[in-house]
Structure 1
Amino acid sequence: MNWTEAPWLGFDTETTGVDVARDRLVTAALVLRPGGMDASAPDRERTWLADPGVEIPSAATEVHGISTERAREEGRPVVDVLDEVATTLVDHWRQGNPVVAFNASYDISLVNNELRRHGLGSFEERLGTGPAPVVDPLVLDRALDRYRRGKKTLAAMAPVYGVELSEDAHTAEVDVAMTLDVLAAMARRFPRIAAMDGAELHAFEVDAHRTWAVDFEKWLRSKGRDAHISPHWPQG
């Protein structure tokens, strides 16, 4: 089955910050689109609110709206949330189906580091290999529409692909649905990626990210910035 027809499992998190090595999970959303690019069947959505076990900085709360107090009162233990999220993702990968995430290296790396921190078994330990296939519209857009002006955020990208920008952006489940819609539009616009199988597309993204990272780091250094952009994907 082509990856465009296989079930897509969209994935997004909201967290305590932007450092994948140190920051913690606050919310997670998984949205299953059974028909892949065909969105005629209703999505199946599941969300989690976790108590990360640490203070949530005010800057993070301003982005996703979850305070430390709310997470402690309403959230479930983070170890339970992590295990359930990881189990669902791993089951999907084991069936050969794609997990879809915008800027996947952030979400996958952060959750994987959290799994290790809490002794729950990393994706590699659970799968016996690296997480794959992963489909990341950010990586694809950088490769396929490289010279388009403007930011490469989900909010900026959605209108480019004819996807309505939700007023509830930065709510994990809303961002996931938007990401799936953007990916479907990309597959229609760029038939060459739609013609690939899941393994070929994953390999294409690995190479595309590496090329972008090397070029972007060179550009930053040419501007006098001591930058390091990880060439590795889907984990940075």
Structure 2
Amino acid sequence: MTSWHNLPRAAFDLETTGRDPHEARIVTASIVVVNGRSEILHTKEWLVNPGIAIPVEASEIHGITTAKAQAEGVDAATAVAEISAYLADLFQTMPVMAFNAAYDFTVLQAEANRYSLEQLNPTPVIDPYIVDKQVDKYRRGKRTLSVMSEFYGVQLLNAHTSAADAAATIGIADAQAAKYPQLQIDPTELHAAQIGWAAEQAASLQEFFRRKNPETVVDGQWPVKR
């Protein structure tokens, strides 16, 4: 059977107003679709007016100011509906990669709730962040997109633009599949496995944090924190 990393696949990435996925608003979104030879077939991008002021610290990361978003961005409800519909279409035929997927898909769900829109059922998702913590548990150092791009030899240009981050996400996932043959399974099976891995990883982190604060809770839900 041909592995998913040699078949058409996509990646999804958001840049937002903040870190809390239940409160953050979408500022930019990108979806990149590649063929089995890793050639980009389509790139769909949205610049969104989030309806609130974009904090300066967020603008410094992704480069989008409140003024730019208000002047050039599409209405948030319209963007959320379009993004969800586009992803729903892709999920019919291919996996969608997302780095730290529980953030992006939780933001998208929260935005859909905010505007009383239909919820997306994101599956099958492949998350290089969760996968990396499973296949290389004891590697020291950070596991950010930029660090993992360097580790797996993936080019990352214009980091923190959603299109560049999405493209790098595909590259990392492909490199993981090539390096670890146990990942070369049906994407729906890999999706199910990641649900368990994410829960185990969160439980382990919660146990570590509770050595200092017994009340610490680490949410292990994936790919959406409901």
CA distance in 2, matches of 1:191, 1:139: 16
Q: Secondary structure at the match of 1:181?
A: helix
Q: Could you give the per-residue CA deviations for residues 194-228 of structure 1, whole angstroms, max 9, x where no partner exists? A: 1x101110111111111100000100111337422
- 1:162 to partner: Cα distance: 1.3
Superposition TM-score, scaled by structure 1 size: 0.91
Which residue is 2:127 aligned to?
136
CA distance in 2, matches of 1:42, 1:67: 28
- Contact kept in structure 2, 1:26 and 1:52, CA below 8 Å: yes
Code of the residue aligned with 2:164 in structure 1: it is: V
- 1:163 to partner: Cα distance: 1.3
Over the residues paired in the alignment, what is the CA RMSD in angstroms?
1.3
- Contact kept in structure 1, 2:32 and 2:43, CA below 8 Å: yes
Structure 2 unpaired stretches of 5+: none
Which residue is 2:149 aligned to?
158
- Contact kept in structure 2, 1:2 and 1:197, CA below 8 Å: yes
- Contact kept in structure 2, 1:12 and 1:176, CA below 8 Å: yes
Q: Does 1:119 align with 2:116?
A: yes
Q: Secondary structure at the match of 1:4?
A: helix
- Contact kept in structure 2, 1:113 and 1:122, CA below 8 Å: no
CA distance in 2, matches of 1:165, 1:176: 10
Q: Does 1:173 align with 2:174?
A: no
Q: Does 1:98 align with 2:99?
A: no
Deviates more, 1:204-213 or 1:225-234: 225-234
- 1:19 to partner: Cα distance: 1.1
Q: Does 1:58 align with 2:56?
A: yes
Q: Could you give the per-residue CA deviations for residues 45-85 of structure 1, whole angstroms, max 9, x where no partner exists? A: 11110101111111111111111111000111111111111
Q: Could you give the per-residue CA deviations for residues 17-59 of structure 1, whole angstroms, max 9, x where no partner exists? A: 0111112111000000122xx31x3342111101011111111
CA distance in 2, matches of 1:158, 1:225: 35
- 1:2 to partner: Cα distance: 4.1
Superposition TM-score, scaled by structure 2 size: 0.95
Q: Could you give the per-residue CA deviations for residues 134-172 of structure 1, whole angstroms, max 9, x where no partner exists? A: 000000000000100110101111111111342x10010
CA distance in 1, matches of 2:11, 2:163: 9
Q: Secondary structure at the match of 2:4?
A: coil
- Contact kept in structure 1, 2:156 and 2:164, CA below 8 Å: no
- Contact kept in structure 2, 1:56 and 1:67, CA below 8 Å: yes
CA distance in 1, matches of 2:215, 2:42: 44
TM superposition outliers: structure 1 runs of 4+ over 2 Å: 1-6, 223-227
Q: Does 1:203 align with 2:192?
A: yes
